[in-house]
Structure 1
Amino acid sequence: QIADGGREQFVNLAADYTSLASIGQTVVKPEGPLRLEQIATIRDGGAERETIARIDGMEAITISLVRDRQANLLDLSRTTRAEINRINKALTSQGVELAIVNDAAEPIEENIGSIESLALIGGLLAVGVLWAFLRHLALVAVVALSIPISVLIALNFFYALDISLNTLSLVGIAVAIGMLLDNSIVVLESIYRQFSRHRKPADAVVAGVGEVWRAVGAATLTTICVFLPFLFSTNFLVRILGRHVGISIISTLLVSLVVAFLLIPIFAFRLFSRRSTDAIPSFNIVSQRNRLVQIYALLLKSCLRFPARTLGLSVVSFFVSILLCLVVSIDLPEEVELDSFDLYANLPSGTTLELADEQAAQMDERLADLEELEERRVEIQTDYLHFTFRLVEDFQEIERRDLSGVRKEVRDRLSRSFPRVRFSSEQPRTDARFRSGGGGNQGMGRAFQRLLGIGTTQERIVLRGNDLELLQIIADDVRYNLERLPGVRHPRLQMGNRQPSIDLTFDRPALSHFGVPATSIGAALNSFRPQYSSGVRLKSDGEEIDILLKSTEQEEKRRVDDLRQLQVTTTGGGAVPLLQLADLSYARGYGQITRINQEKEIELTYQFDDEVQNSSQLLDETRAAIDALTAGLNLPAGVAIEAIHDETDLSEFYFLIGASILLIYMILASVFESLIAPLAMMITLPLATIGAFWGLILTGNSIFNANAMVGFLILLGVVVNNGIMLIDYARLLQRRGAPLGRALLTAGQVRVRPILITVLSTALAMFPLAMGQVEYVARIGAPFAITVIGGLIAGTLFTLLLVPTAYFGLARSLDWARSLSWPLKMLQLAALAAGFYLIHTGIDSTFWQFADGTALLALVPALTYFVRSSLRRSQAELIPAGAPIRISIRNLVKVYDDRSRFTRQWGRWERQQSHLADSSTRIGWDRLAALAWQLPLLAFHGYFAYIYLGSAFYALLFSIGFCLFLLRLVHLHLIPLLPRLGRWL
């Protein structure tokens, strides 16, 4: 830096090499002068090869592209493919072509396309449900408009909140599609019910919307509010999950609410202004002659007569079902069925690249006859091989093996032929050379995969200490015991190979005697290598090229004697052989050492065999045996060992579920202005989990992952909606003067039709997503849909029967509680408080705390009622003393062996049908007209069950439905023809 004219200027040294000629002009020795071009050959070349790539046994050149963190993977993939096509056109004349062998965006695009098609099919099924109930094109079209309008407008929310159309957001839309019709159906049904009372269309619209606006708004808010607690989650991955799925559902539902309150009334007014009430028979109020309505009314009457028994039996069924589900469910990640998989081979330490190439060729030849493998790729490095196998389409049909079966066959073949090589399906964590590959993860983080229940079933044992040699001895002992433990397979140490090395121990007096500085030793050892970097770069055409120093290529590889005789330059200009300066000893060094909190760590991984993975009991027993193995080790001081089981931490979701339940209660309490009515509606929350749990277990899904938990959260907001509609109408009838029992019975019969329509449309709209078999769809979207479908079906049954029963029982219980004296009320509260305290302090299991708390909550009032009733009866007098005796005589008739009330009412429908059959002289044209939609529906059902479905479970389920549907059509249409056919013959 110099000062020139009052300004400071920097001095830069321009001494870069810009051409090969400039490198050759470098002066090596002033005498002469001796230039570099006189003693060395300078040319363009390449560094010594460190890796080899082969595809199907043929050598290839591979280029790996790693995206920037901010880049969109799908956009980057499309851009890269376009650029590759442009390069290929330019290379056509040279006979060279770039071929894409692996694209991480392909499965993502395929899954997104699959979710879009499944959502479209689900929307069509929901519209089909509307057609089956309404059978009126204008009405179906009006309600069906809710789906496209809501989805298209919701995309603006996506844009505003910077949410992309990814797998999670599309799953949220697919789940929400079935719910988009609910509000419109309820509003339209309410408007028509007012219109059927011969009101003017304008009055009917106003009255119909005014009758249900509060219930519809509350139902939508309860569905939306379950995603609010995600904002307060401390887990970043949980917040991502809630953000993408939550915004998808919230935005579409909000738009559907606006559509139901604005567009549906407008369309209904236009439609009903042109038609009379008799012109739309398909939307008439449910007939009391309908068998389904009669059965429902009969069951509801029975439940209302015995509310305590009904609720008690339901609670017992809930806890028994939950206990059974927890016993049989397995907390292990599920593997995604991709069309490719990776295999890693850990070769013996010290293996050269040439020998590794030979072994890779032998392994590839050993697998050449496997028909499931379409392409075999291998990346060869010293000590490591990385195989990538691409499977043929429909590979399961060849040998009836799934992905894990093919992987096991490949691994078993190679393990038998190469016993000294350690194979692993997991990417090595200790070697940096493999960390940039996508492998089978397709860019998805391991932690997020495990949260979603995706991945391989691998657990680990961690050893920590300061003595690495001692840690490896103990780890080898643990691995030896794991290999002999039943149910455990492939135990493997996650640490790099110990590379053979030669240690140099320098003699400091000799170094001082000969005058050898450390820089001379380093320079001599660098020159001993076949090639090494000079530390200088050639700058040409905007590129920087490393300048390497290499010995004669024809020179044989150096040996230990050559190292001993290596000449080291002294300060005086002489040379001394290395053997006079240092002692050489053979050793094995660690390529990499892992430290956690200043302690060295070794990780031992293992997997379970298929029998253990498919049995919850065997899994618990095997884990207990591993815990006993680690606990029984006699560890020296300074060494710690821990068995880390691959169990999902769902504590964050327990908070979300609890907060969601509290928010739902607060919304219902504010809407209905009651603290008791919401309790009756929310009784379906725990009972709906019966269907959700059994749905997950029967379809082979785990209940211990984030997908199922988010499905439960969605279920919490959806399952109370039907109860809201029912209780809201019952309270409206009460305000009009109807008794409580009659109001509940009438509300159930009036609301059963819209409830069935909304439930069936929601469930069928999610069925395609639940049956998705494409890679990540089956592992991410299916648990969402199965949880909601199973819980919604079970919750509907409980809503129609138990919500009115609970509301009726709570009303009677409150009247009874008000009649108690204050000392008795305080005694009950004290008993409950003491019982809850003992349960909380004496029981560790959350399940048993909840079960015992529920039992206590019912036992204390029941015991109080029993004691008071017993005391009152013991003190009662039949005829008080001094009271006159009056005797009334009536004619009583006792019919012995008569059927019960339930049986008599059950047979009423059969008598009605018999009377109608006797009075009719021909088959009604309405039945024949029904065949116009029943036969196409039967044909579609048969195609769907026997041709479309690939899952055996769903095929069996739908084939049973197909047979029942067919038998129903035969009973309705063919059986009545038999007498007439006989008379005609």
Structure 2
Amino acid sequence: MNKIKNHSRIAEFAIKRPVTITMLLLALLVVGFISYTQIPVEMMPTGFNPPFLGVYVPYRNANPKEIEQQIAKPMEEQIRTIPGISEVTTRSFSSGAWVWVEFHSGVDMDIAYDQVRDRVERARLEMPDDVDRIMIRKFGPDNSSIMNVAISIPPDIDDPYYMVEHFIKTPLERIDGVASVDIYGADEKIIQILLDDQKIKAYNINLFETIQKLRNDNFNMSSGWVMEGGKKFYLRSVNKYKSIEEIRNIPIRGTALKLKDVATIKFEPPEKVWYQRINGEDALKLEISKENMANTVEISHKVHRMLEQFQKDPRFKGMKFNILFDQGHEIEQSIDNLKSSAIWGALFAVLILYFFLRRLRMTLIVAIAIPMSVMISLIAMYFIGWTLNVITMMGLMISVGMVVDNSIVVLENIYRHQSAGMKTRKAAVFGTGEVSLAVTLATLTSIVVFVPILIMKDDVGFFRFYLQRVGLPVIFSLLASLLVALVMIPLATSKFPLKGRLREKGIILKGLNLYKKILNWSLQHRVQVSLILIAMFVSTLFIAKKVPSSDNMGGRSSRIFLIFDLPQNISLDEVNEYFREVERAIMEQRDRLDISTMDLRFRKDFARIVIYQNVLDNKSWYELLWEKLTDIFSDHPEKITNRDRLLAELKKLVPKKPGVKLRTSWRGGASSDEGTVSVVLYGDDTGKLTELAEEVERRLQLLPGVISTETSLETGNDEMQITLDRDALRRSGLSPNQVAFTLMYAVRGIDVSKFQANDREIQIRIQLEEADRKNFMQLRNLTFSNREGKNVPLGALAKFQVNKGFGEIVRTDGKTNIEVKATTTMENMRKLSADIDRVMQGFTLPYGYSWSKGKRFSRWMQQNQNFAGALLISVIFVTILMGILFESFILPLSVLISIPLSFFGAFLALYITG
């Protein structure tokens, strides 16, 4: 008896000090409500800094090999000296270079950012002089755009980019919490100096010297100071261009010849490369990003109010603002849906309790555990600095059904003692004391399952971070429910006695009788039951192998991405006409596919379509459930909302065209690997890698379910390789640098300087007229003026050869690699991995070369290892905890038998539902 009393000291204290306990519980409710009103609301948890950094160097109209040698390699060599780096990958392509830096988990990314910036500045000394921008980007949930806004521009607006940048972008960026606003679909006007090749030749102008003069003449320079009359005067040499007319009248070669005599000087947007359309109409698009830790919902509301002001402003007459994507609205909608689901879940829990308990007083006493536990969890989340988001809300929803378990056990035992005639206060103390160990053990065993998640490490940290945001709210709620069960329940039952006998009726009584019969039979046939359990466990192993293992989840996504790789032999007019057909095909099915907006952005060799689905506004859980069931069980649902089914439908709708390759994604980004598997070849010789890639591609075509295969070389342009003849250069009195740079200036063009207008800086770009750089013959006839004033054509100085260029050159940790991709309909990662091993069997590589299955498989394997490790550690912790509490080796083992048997039900359900 004394032992029981010792186990119920908490209950005894609560019953003796009812006012104190009641006030403390009320205080927790009040603080919990205040925490709920003050806790920030986000879509996803903040605070996760992925161990990745990206460095992007734009360098237009260049050869990938040239970019690799002059930009990518210098950065790679410098960045690899930073401690804590796991992998460095460089990608060199025709418009610039990306360097992807992956660090080991645990590295301080703020320090890493500073170190990368320092190394990039060192590498900049080895890069070409006309590299003017280097962007270092952090990656994470806070770095993506939170709103996309489309702006339709009337045709009478002369400079849409200037208007949007100065009168729309600037006010939006002044909003507190907005980090940046990017403009897509329009180009800034520049001063273009378009040289006439015929006039250059006629006037015998040295193109190299002329361009150098334009680069060097536009400047203001501080020149020191002098003393005059006891005063100090600072000197400043002023030579900046004051007007476009002044640029037109720049003298050439010190004669009466002016720049306007040999070139056309225009102030207009550059040659259009990218095209943007929203729902089939030309439009601009704004992508709004927020500052780290800024509140997305608040920013969204402020942007909405400012857009309403813009719409009323007479300066923007005829312009329409259409919000394509609003993460703030999605957050509010998601949180509201989760709140509604949690409330309905709690209500159902209470109804089920009443169905079994058949006592309103007992039901209400147990039901109090739900709000109390949730409020205490919110207090803990608030004080550790977490936000309320879909992940933490998921944890709270999971806990709603678990927090009543302890209270039910304690209440039922107290009621049993009261029914046996024990006095109310004594029954509360004894009833709580008898089961306190059981409920404590049950709570702690549930909690220790999450402990491995809190302490384990993975290379990226993503797995641990997000599961912590699910697990800790559950832990807080379970601990709170234990407190409620051991303190509040005995107090409530001592003040509000449970009267009457609990009599089971109808289906409950039948269920109990059936259970007794099964239990009696099991005890009398122990061998047969053991064999059945062993058979269930063994069958679990076979069923588990039949369950597909995928790295993608189904469901609904508000955005779908269609990514197109286009052939090189197609004209821009053909590309434009093709996407008109794509737009028509998709927009005709707009209602059935539940599409709100289609955002198309394309250039000659690449395109991306973003499909925005309608947001699920003001729909209750039962309406969503009905839509989900309709989508699952109907072959032709009224509206397609399931992500996988929508992707499949969009693939069918997109018109087929030779050479056009389509990829799909719901994550975004041109490099998405969804629906593809790859084999990556590593080595030093690109030519050898190309030969090996052809054999790998042939093997991957043997995979089941393969739609298409490609290598990272296939998207390369044909390139004209110009090999300079050193003897011819020497005889002509020209240097290789002079020829190469003049060729680059004339064909690719160069930004020579900036013109300072009253309200902005305007880029000055020089280049040959488009009509003078269209074909190889014009290129061969391009002339170079030597010191003697003679014009020498390029054809006399170099040899020309057309080769297949690289679309992209990739290096990983100093080794060049080629990726061979296969687009497949199969999602079972386990079978895909085995199939790749099968088709690659017998593939031999030269010394120094190797291959891997790519990042997608390595991430999938790491996830599986993390889950398996977490499961194993959880079982060990549960065993240790039960051994400590039971002071026994046998009892914990007998309980642990239920774990492998639970897998039978879990895998069977996955197998049946597919």
Q: Could you say which TM-score interval applies, normalised by the shorter chain?
A: 0.5 to 0.7
Q: Report the CA distance between 1:324 and its aligned residue.
A: 2.7
Q: Which amino acid aligns with 2:407?
A: S
Give per-residue Cα distances to partners, 1:846-868, cap 9 Å, x unaligned.
xxxxxxxxxxxxxxxxxxxxxxx
Q: Which amino acid aligns with 1:297?
A: K
* Percentage of matched positions with identical amino acids: 25
Give the equivalent residue in structure 2 for 1:971. Answer: none
Structure 1 counterpart SS, 2:434: helix
Give per-residue Cα distances to partners, 1:907-964, cap 9 Å, x unaligned.
xxxxxxxxxxxxxxxxxxxxxxxxxxxxxxxxxxxxxxxxxxxxxxxxxxxxxxxxxx
Give the equivalent residue in structure 2 for 1:630. Answer: 840
Structure 2 counterpart SS, 1:95: coil
Give the equivalent residue in structure 1 for 2:882. Answer: 668
Structure 1 counterpart SS, 2:324: coil
Q: Distance in 2 between matches of 1:181 and 1:486?
A: 50
Structure 2 counterpart SS, 1:504: strand
Structure 2 counterpart SS, 1:244: helix
Q: Is 2:324 the counterpart of 1:101?
A: yes
Q: Distance in 2 between matches of 1:576 and 1:419?
A: 43
Q: Is 2:495 the counterpart of 1:270?
A: yes
Q: Distance in 1 between matches of 2:561 and 2:443?
A: 46
Provide the TM-score with structure 1 as the length reference: 0.60
Give the equivalent residue in structure 1 for 2:479. Answer: 254
Q: Is 2:564 the counterpart of 1:325?
A: no
Give per-residue Cα distances to partners, 1:569-610, cap 9 Å, x unaligned.
32455432222222222233214201123332222222443x
Q: Which amino acid aligns with 2:784?
A: V
Give the equivalent residue in structure 2 for 1:563. Answer: 779
Q: Which amino acid aligns with 1:669?
A: G
Structure 2 counterpart SS, 1:631: coil
Q: Is 2:864 the counterpart of 1:656?
A: no
Q: Distance in 1 between matches of 2:437 and 2:518?
A: 28
Give per-residue Cα distances to partners, 1:832-884, cap 9 Å, x unaligned.
xxxxxxxxxxxxxxxxxxxxxxxxxxxxxxxxxxxxxxxxxxxxxxxxxxxxx
The alpha-carbon distance between structure 1 residues 658 and 486, as it changes in their structure 2 partners (threshold 3 A), is: closer
2:554 and 2:642 in contact (8 A); partners too: no
Query: Which of 566, 581, 605 lines up with 1:347 in the alignment?
Result: 566
The alpha-carbon distance between structure 1 residues 2 and 442, as it changes in their structure 2 partners (threshold 3 A), is: same
Structure 2 counterpart SS, 1:604: strand
2:546 and 2:911 in contact (8 A); partners too: no
Give the equivalent residue in structure 2 for 1:357. Answer: 576
1:563 and 1:578 in contact (8 A); partners too: yes
Query: Which of 708, 712, 715 lines up with 1:497 in the alignment?
Result: 715
Query: Any unmatched runs of 5+ in structure 2?
Result: 1-222, 617-626
The alpha-carbon distance between structure 1 residues 415 and 288, as it changes in their structure 2 partners (threshold 3 A), is: closer
Q: Report the CA distance between 1:459 and its aligned residue.
A: 1.9
Give the equivalent residue in structure 1 for 2:500. Answer: 280
Q: Which amino acid aligns with 1:53?
A: Q
Q: Is 2:662 the counterpart of 1:423?
A: yes
Q: Is 2:361 the counterpart of 1:138?
A: yes
2:751 and 2:763 in contact (8 A); partners too: yes
Give the equivalent residue in structure 2 for 1:397. Answer: 637
Q: Is 2:789 the counterpart of 1:592?
A: no
Q: Which amino acid aligns with 2:667?
A: N
Provide the TM-score with structure 2 as the length reference: 0.64
Structure 1 counterpart SS, 2:533: helix
Root mean square deviation, CA, Å = 3.9
The alpha-carbon distance between structure 1 residues 56 and 21, as it changes in their structure 2 partners (threshold 3 A), is: closer
The worse-fitting range, judged by mean Cα deviation, of 624-633 and 9-18 is 9-18
Q: Distance in 2 between matches of 1:249 and 1:550?
A: 64
2:448 and 2:874 in contact (8 A); partners too: yes
Q: Is 2:441 the counterpart of 1:218?
A: yes
Within a 5 Å distance, the mapping from 1:37-436 to structure 2 comes to 44-67=267-290, 74-90=297-313, 94-103=317-326, 109-235=332-458, 236-272=461-497, 279-281=499-501, 283=502, 290-307=509-526, 309-331=528-550, 333-349=552-568, 351-365=570-584, 367=586, 369-370=588-589, 372=592, 374=595, 375-390=597-612, 397-398=637-638, 403-412=643-652, 414=654, 416=656, 418-425=657-664
Q: Report the CA distance between 1:463 and its aligned residue.
A: 2.4
Q: Is 2:690 the counterpart of 1:690?
A: no
Within a 5 Å distance, the mapping from 1:477-876 to structure 2 comes to 477-483=695-701, 485-495=703-713, 497-529=715-747, 531-536=749-754, 538=756, 540-541=758-759, 543-549=760-766, 555=771, 558-609=774-825, 620=831, 624-633=834-843, 639-643=849-853, 646=857, 647-649=860-862, 650-700=864-914
Q: Report the CA distance between 1:47 and its aligned residue.
A: 2.5
Q: Distance in 2 between matches of 1:334 and 1:305?
A: 45
Give per-residue Cα distances to partners, 1:2-57, cap 9 Å, x unaligned.
8999xxx9999675848536964985458478776887676643222210112333
Within a 5 Å distance, the mapping from 1:816-965 to structure 2 comes to none
Q: Report the CA distance between 1:304 and its aligned residue.
A: 3.6
Q: Which amino acid aligns with 1:509?
A: D
The alpha-carbon distance between structure 1 residues 607 and 123, as it changes in their structure 2 partners (threshold 3 A), is: farther
The alpha-carbon distance between structure 1 residues 575 and 104, as it changes in their structure 2 partners (threshold 3 A), is: farther
Give the equivalent residue in structure 2 for 1:872. Answer: none
The worse-fitting range, judged by mean Cα deviation, of 593-602 and 565-574 is 565-574
Q: Distance in 1 between matches of 2:278 and 2:395?
A: 40
The alpha-carbon distance between structure 1 residues 400 and 117, as it changes in their structure 2 partners (threshold 3 A), is: closer
Q: Distance in 2 between matches of 1:12 and 1:150?
A: 73
Q: Distance in 2 between matches of 1:4 and 1:194?
A: 103
Give the equivalent residue in structure 2 for 1:774. Answer: none
Structure 2 counterpart SS, 1:441: coil
Q: Distance in 2 between matches of 1:687 and 1:197?
A: 37
Q: How many equivalent pairs are there? A: 661
Structure 2 counterpart SS, 1:491: strand
2:224 and 2:236 in contact (8 A); partners too: no
2:708 and 2:822 in contact (8 A); partners too: yes
The alpha-carbon distance between structure 1 residues 582 and 230, as it changes in their structure 2 partners (threshold 3 A), is: same
Q: Which amino acid aligns with 1:460?
A: S
Q: Which amino acid aligns with 2:876?
A: L
Q: Distance in 2 between matches of 1:247 and 1:634?
A: 49
Structure 1 counterpart SS, 2:323: coil
In terms of fraction of residues, the more helix-rich structure is 1
Q: Report the CA distance between 1:181 and its aligned residue.
A: 0.7
The worse-fitting range, judged by mean Cα deviation, of 152-161 and 370-379 is 370-379
1:491 and 1:605 in contact (8 A); partners too: yes
Q: Distance in 2 between matches of 1:592 and 1:59?
A: 30
1:464 and 1:639 in contact (8 A); partners too: yes
Q: Distance in 2 between matches of 1:106 and 1:606?
A: 37
Q: Report the CA distance between 1:180 and its aligned residue.
A: 0.9
Q: Distance in 2 between matches of 1:490 and 1:333?
A: 20
The worse-fitting range, judged by mean Cα deviation, of 201-210 and 64-73 is 64-73
1:627 and 1:643 in contact (8 A); partners too: no
The alpha-carbon distance between structure 1 residues 512 and 177, as it changes in their structure 2 partners (threshold 3 A), is: same
Q: Which amino acid aligns with 1:627?
A: D
Structure 2 counterpart SS, 1:172: helix
Q: Which structure would you say has the larger Rg?
A: 1
2:721 and 2:803 in contact (8 A); partners too: yes
Structure 1 counterpart SS, 2:840: helix
Give the equivalent residue in structure 2 for 1:890. Answer: none
Give the equivalent residue in structure 1 for 2:685. Answer: 467
Give per-residue Cα distances to partners, 1:73-106, cap 9 Å, x unaligned.
5555444444333333326861101212234566
1:348 and 1:497 in contact (8 A); partners too: yes
